Amino acid sequence: MKIVVQKYGGSSVATTDKIKEVAKKVIKKKEEGYHVVVILSAMGKTTDHLISLAKDISDNPDPREMDMLLTTGEQVSIALLSMALNEKGYLAVSFTGSQLNIQTTAMHQKARIKDIEISKLQKSLKEDKIIVVAGFQGVTEDNEYTTLGRGGSDTSAVALAAKLGASCEIYTDVDGIYTMDPRKLKNAKKINKISYEEMMEIASLGAGVIHYRAVEMAQKYEIPIYIASTFSDKKGTIIMNGGENLMEETLITGMASSLEDIQVTLLNLTSCTGSLYRLFGELAQQEANVDMISQMLTEDNKMNVSFTIPKTDLHIAEGIVDKWRKEDKSIQWEVSTDIAKISVVGIGMRSHSGVAAKVFELMAENNIEI
Amino acid sequence: MKIVVQKYGGSSVATTDKIKEVAKKVIKKKEEGYHVVVILSAMGKTTDHLISLAKDISDNPDPREMDMLLTTGEQVSIALLSMALNEKGYLAVSFTGSQLNIQTTAMHQKARIKDIEISKLQKSLKEDKIIVVAGFQGVTEDNEYTTLGRGGSDTSAVALAAKLGASCEIYTDVDGIYTMDPRKLKNAKKINKISYEEMMEIASLGAGVIHYRAVEMAQKYEIPIYIASTFSDKKGTIIMNGGENLMEETLITGMASSLEDIQVTLLNLTSCTGSLYRLFGELAQQEANVDMISQMLTEDNKMNVSFTIPKTDLHIAEGIVDKWRKEDKSIQWEVSTDIAKISVVGIGMRSHSGVAAKVFELMAENNIEI
C-alpha cells in the first residue's frame, strides 16, 4: 500500500474543532487506500505563548530548556488528533520525536535531522494504524530533546517522506504558492507547478508558506511536495523537478517581502579578508542566518560591512561584536530594525535585462526608499 | 553532600512569578549545602485544561493518548523552573520521566513505579547541578509515556528520595497536616508529627494534602516526609515512624471529608462468594479504587452489595455491570452521586468506646443523614 505523509500547520490545528476537521481529511485519504503518516505543528499560537512564558522568566533562556518547553506544543496536538481518529473508529497512535528516534544534531533550537529509525513506524503501519508524529522536534544521541527551528515541521515531514519512500502533502491556511502574498496583493496568481530552486528562493526570502530547509531536503531526495489548503478542496501547488516550462513563460515567478530581518553595520574594521572570514565564521558557528552582505572600503583603508540577519538572531551578533570591541575599541556598529526585505524571483532576472530596473522604477514611483 | 528531594505542587508553580519564588526556595536549600532534586507538578489548572481539550474531542479518550497529552503539563513546569534557576546563576537541568527512565507498569493513567535509573541523576549531581524532574509521569519498557494518577507527583518524589537515600520535602498551599481541613474548619489544629499509618488513613479518605500511595511508599522505605507551605516559613508537619506519643495523647487524630465518591449498589446477585470475588476482582483488574463495601442477603436468598468508588471510576463499574446484565437480566443497579464520605481517624476509635457514638450524635444534631 502506498504511504503518504501529510503535514498540518499550527493554524490547521488551532482548536479542537479544527483538529476534528483535520481528522476527517486524514480519514478520507486513508479510505482512498493509503497508509497515512501525519505530522503536526503546535496548536495555533501555542509556541508563541510558551515563548512568552520563558521570556517572563529570563531574557535569554537556556536553549536546552527552551527545547524542553517548546516540544510540549506538538505533543499536545498529536495526542488530540490521535484521540479524534480513535473516536471515529480508526486505529491511530502518536509519537514524539524522542519516541520515534528522530536523531538530530545537538544544536538546541536549530538542530538538523541526521536520521530517523523507521522500524517503529513500519510496525505500526503493518498494524494498519494511522501514525501521528510531532513535527519540529527530535532527539540527540543522549536523549536530549531538540527542535529544528521555526517552520521545522515541514522539514520533519519531508524527512519522513524520504525515509518511507512516501509522497508528501503540506496543508496550511493558504491554498498554494502565489506569485505574491495573496493577503497583501489581491490579484496575485496561484502557481500550479514550481521547481525546487525557485521555491527555495521564495521560501528563503520569508514567503512563509513552506520552510526553506524542507524544500532543500525535498530536492535532495526528489520528493514532490503538494501544498494546499486544509479547509478547502481547491487544487494547490506542486513543488517538483521540472518547473522549466513555467520559467520559460514568465520573467518573474514571484515576489516576497519580509519584515523579520534587521540590518547590522560594522564600521572601521581592519584587515579585510581576515576579519570578514572571522565575522561570518563566528556567525555561522552559532547558526545565525546571514542573508544580504555588502562591504565598502573607507578612505583610510578601513572597511565597513553590512549584513541582514533575522531579528531573532540579534543577540548572537551582539555577543560577537561585544567581544570584538574589547579587542579594538575603534570598531563601531549600528543596527537598523526598521527595514523591509523585498525579493524578486524568476529566471527573467538573469536572462532579460530591465527587470530589476522596472522594479526599482516601481519603488521610486511609490516613494519607497531603497 | 546530603541530598534533599523537594516537591512543589501545581498551585506552587501556577504562574511564572510563583515559579521564581520556588526558585528562591530551592536556591536557599542549595546554599545551605544540599544537593537539591526538585519534583514539579503541572502549572495550576493546566491538567484540568488539558483534560477539557480531550473531552472536547472524545467522551472516552484513549488512555495512551491521554498520557501523551497530560505529560506535557509537568514538562512545561520543569523547563521554566530550570530557566529561573539558570537565570539566578545556578546550574540546573530538567528531565522528563522518559529521559530519567522512571520505569512504570504499562497501565496508562494509573501506572505504578517499578524502578528508577539513577545514573543520569548521579552524573548531574556530580556536576553540582540542581535537578528538576517532571512528577506524575514515567515510561514503560517500550518507551510509552505513562502517568501515575492524580496526586502522583508525591509518589514520584518519595520514590526518588528512596532511590537516592535522600530526605523528602513536600511543599504545597497549606502549611502542614491539620486535624481537619483548615479551609473548612477554622479552629483545626496543625499536627507536628504524624505516623505513616494515620497519614495513610487520612490521605486515603480524600484529605488531599498528600497522595496515599506516596505515604505507603515512604513507610516501606522509611523516608520521613516533611510537609509545609511553599510561600511561608511556618513549621510544617513531619510524617515518620513513631507518631506513638501522639496516638496515646489523642483519641482522634483527624477527620476528613470527601465529595469525590459515588456509591454503587447492585441488587439481586446470586451465589454470594463467587460473584463478590468476580465483582471486586474485575474492579481491581481495572484499578478502580473500591473503598467502603457493605452487603446484605435478601429474603429469597439473593444478595445486594454496595460499594463506593471515585466518581472518575464510574465508567469502569458501568462496563462491568453492563456485561453482567447481559448474562443475568434480573440484576439491577443504582448509583448515588450525591453523597459525602466523612472519616474519623485515630487510635481512639478502637481503644475507647463511645467515639463513634459521639460522631453519630453530632451528625444527628446537625441534621446530617447517614
Q: Per the domain annotation, does B24 fall within a domain?
A: yes
Both B169 and B291 in one domain: the answer is no
A-chain residues near B84 (CB < 8 A): 57-58
For residue A348, what pLDDT band results from cuts at 50, 70 and 90?
low
Both A145 and A266 in one domain: the answer is no
How much is the pLDDT for B50? 96
Least Cα separation, residue A53 to chain B (angstroms): 7
Both B290 and B165 in one domain: the answer is no
Contact B83 A57 (CB under 8 A): yes
How much is the pLDDT for B209? 79
Contact B82 A68 (CB under 8 A): yes
- Residue among A56, A80, A96 whose CB faces B54 most closely: A80
Least Cα separation, residue B82 to chain A (angstroms): 7
Share of chain A above pLDDT 70, in %: 90
CATH number, residue B139: 3.40.1160.10
Closest chain B CA to residue A101: B143
Rounded to whole angstroms, how far apart are CA atoms A118 and A130?
A: 14
A254 pLDDT above the threshold of 80: no
Cβ atoms within 10 Å, residue A128: 11
Using alpha carbons, select from B7, B145, B176 the residue that is nearest to residue B77: B7
For residue A247, what pLDDT band results from cuts at 50, 70 and 90?
very low
Cβ atoms within 10 Å, residue B208: 17
Least Cα separation, residue B147 to chain A (angstroms): 14
A228 DSSP assignment = E
How much is the pLDDT for B347? 57
Kindly list the distances between the CA atom of residue B294 and the CA atoms of B255, B260, B330, in Å, as whole numbers in the listed order.
22, 19, 20
B189 DSSP assignment = P
Q: What is the DSSP string of B294-336?
A: EEEE-TTS-EEEEEEEEGGGHHHHHHHHHHHHHH-TT-EEEEE
User: Kind of pairing, strands B3-8 and B35-40?
Assistant: parallel
Residue of A65, A129, A140, A147 to mutate, testing the B interface (most B Cβ within 10 Å of its Cβ): A65
Both B47 and B163 in one domain: the answer is yes
- Residue among A54, A68, A94 whose CB faces B68 most closely: A94
Both A268 and A162 in one domain: the answer is no
pLDDT, tens digit only, all 370 positions of chain B: 899 999 999 999 999 999 999 999 999 999 999 999 999 999 999 999 999 999 999 999 999 999 999 999 999 999 999 999 999 999 999 999 999 999 999 999 999 999 999 999 999 999 999 999 999 999 999 999 999 987 899 999 999 999 999 999 999 988 888 877 777 777 778 888 988 988 887 776 555 678 888 999 999 999 999 999 998 889 999 999 875 445 445 556 666 677 788 888 888 877 555 677 777 888 888 877 777 777 777 777 777 888 888 888 888 888 888 887 887 778 888 888 888 777 776 655 555 566 667 777 777 777 777 6
Q: Which residues fall within 8 angstroms of residue A8, CB to CB, at 6 or more apart?
A: A22, A38, A39, A40, A41, A171, A172, A230
**Burial (CB count <10 Å: 0-12, 13-18, 19+), residue A345:** buried
Local structure of B108: helix, strand or coil: coil
Contact A54 B83 (CB under 8 A): yes
Q: Which residues fall within 8 angstroms of residue A74, CB to CB, at 6 or more apart?
A: A40, A41, A42, A96, A134, A135, A136, A137, A153
Contact B65 A94 (CB under 8 A): yes
Both A10 and A120 in one domain: the answer is yes
Contact B86 A20 (CB under 8 A): no
Residue of B13, B58, B147 to mutate, testing the A interface (most A Cβ within 10 Å of its Cβ): B58
Mean pLDDT over A330-341 rounds to: 81
Closest chain B CA to residue A95: B68
Closest chain A CA to residue B51: A80
Contact B68 A19 (CB under 8 A): no
Contact B65 A71 (CB under 8 A): no
How much is the pLDDT for B148? 95
Q: What are phi and psi of B305, to 5 degrees?
A: -135, 135
- Residue in the block written with cell 530538567: B94
What is the interface size between A and B, counted as CB pairs within 8 Å? Answer: 111
The B225-229 sheet, strands edge to edge? B92-95, B130-134, B35-40, B3-8, B167-172, B225-229, B237-239, B193-194
Predicted model pTM = 0.76
Mean pLDDT over A301-314 rounds to: 82
A313 pLDDT above the threshold of 70: yes
Closest chain A CA to residue B140: A99
Using alpha carbons, select from B170, B176, B179, B149 the residue that is nearest to residue B344: B179
Least Cα separation, residue A8 to chain B (angstroms): 18
Both A21 and A152 in one domain: the answer is yes
Both B24 and B160 in one domain: the answer is yes
Closest chain A CA to residue B73: A72
Least Cα separation, residue A366 to chain B (angstroms): 47
Least Cα separation, residue A100 to chain B (angstroms): 10
Both A21 and A165 in one domain: the answer is yes
Closest chain A CA to residue B60: A87
Contact B53 A76 (CB under 8 A): yes
Mean pLDDT over A12-30 rounds to: 97
Q: Per the domain annotation, does B358 fall within a domain?
A: no
Q: How many domains does the structure of chain A reveal?
A: 2
How many Cα atoms occupy the beta-carbon half-sphere of A181 within 13 Å? 14
Q: Per the domain annotation, does A249 fall within a domain?
A: no
Closest chain A CA to residue B47: A76
Least Cα separation, residue B110 to chain A (angstroms): 18
What are the strands, taking DSSP E only, across chain A?
3-8, 35-40, 92-95, 102-104, 113-116, 130-134, 137-139, 145-147, 167-172, 177-178, 190-191, 193-194, 225-229, 237-239, 254-258, 261-269, 293-297, 303-310, 332-336, 341-345
Kindly list the distances between the CA atom of residue A158 and the CA atoms of A6, A140, B7, in Å, as whole numbers in the listed order.
9, 19, 42
Least Cα separation, residue B213 to chain A (angstroms): 28
User: Pick the residue with more confidence: A337 or B141?
Assistant: B141
A248 pLDDT above the threshold of 50: no
Q: Per the domain annotation, does A266 fall within a domain?
A: yes
How much is the pLDDT for A25? 97
**Burial (CB count <10 Å: 0-12, 13-18, 19+), residue B176:** buried
pLDDT digits (tens, 9 = 90+) for B210-256: 888 899 999 999 999 999 999 888 999 999 987 544 544 555 666 66
Domain around B296: 260-339
Contact A80 B53 (CB under 8 A): yes
A-chain residues near B18 (CB < 8 A): none
How many Cα atoms occupy the beta-carbon half-sphere of B320 within 13 Å? 21
pLDDT digits (tens, 9 = 90+) for B119-166: 999 999 999 999 999 999 999 999 999 999 878 999 999 999 999 999
- Residue in the block written with cell 518547473: A243
B-chain residues near A72 (CB < 8 A): 72, 75-76
Rounded to whole angstroms, how far apart are CA atoms B26 and B30?
A: 6
Least Cα separation, residue A123 to chain B (angstroms): 13
What are residue B306's DSSP bridge partners?
B265, B294
For residue A350, what pLDDT band results from cuts at 50, 70 and 90?
low
Residue of B62, B132, B140 to mutate, testing the A interface (most A Cβ within 10 Å of its Cβ): B62
Cβ atoms within 10 Å, residue B15: 13
What are residue B294's DSSP bridge partners?
B306
Per-chain mean pLDDT for chain B: 86
Least Cα separation, residue A284 to chain B (angstroms): 26
Contact A57 B68 (CB under 8 A): no
Q: Per the domain annotation, does B247 fall within a domain?
A: no
pLDDT digits (tens, 9 = 90+) for A94-138: 999 999 999 999 999 999 999 999 999 999 999 999 999 999 999
Angle of the A63-87 helix axis to the B46-57 helix axis, nearest 10? 30
B-chain residues near A18 (CB < 8 A): none
C-alpha cell at B109: 493513567
Q: Per the domain annotation, does A68 fall within a domain?
A: yes
Q: Per the domain annotation, does A345 fall within a domain?
A: no
Least Cα separation, residue A1 to chain B (angstroms): 26
Q: What are phi and psi of A336, to 5 degrees?
A: -105, 115
Residue of A38, A49, A62, A66 to mutate, testing the B interface (most B Cβ within 10 Å of its Cβ): A62
A342 pLDDT above the threshold of 60: yes
A169-200 burial code (b ≥16 CB/10 A, e <16):
bbbbebbbbbbbbbeeeeebeebeebbbbbbb
User: Pick the residue with more confidence: A8 or A356?
Assistant: A8
- Residue among B57, B87, B98 whose CB faces A80 most closely: B57
Rounded to whole angstroms, how far apart are CA atoms A108 and A146?
A: 5
What are residue B228's DSSP bridge partners?
B171
A-chain residues near B102 (CB < 8 A): none
How much is the pLDDT for B191? 86
How much is the pLDDT for B206? 55
Which of B144, B173, B202 represents a domain boundary (last residue)?
B173
CATH number, residue A302: 3.30.70.260
Which of A135, A154, A173 represents a domain boundary (last residue)?
A173
Both A169 and A270 in one domain: the answer is no
Provide residues of B within 8 Å CB-CB of chain A: 16-17, 19-20, 50, 53-54, 56-58, 61-62, 64-66, 68-69, 71-72, 75-76, 78-80, 82-84, 86-87, 93-94, 96, 98-99, 143-145
Rounded to whole angstroms, how far apart are CA atoms B264 and B314?
A: 9
Q: Per the domain annotation, does B345 fall within a domain?
A: no
Both A156 and A294 in one domain: the answer is no
Contact B50 A87 (CB under 8 A): no
A244 pLDDT above the threshold of 50: no
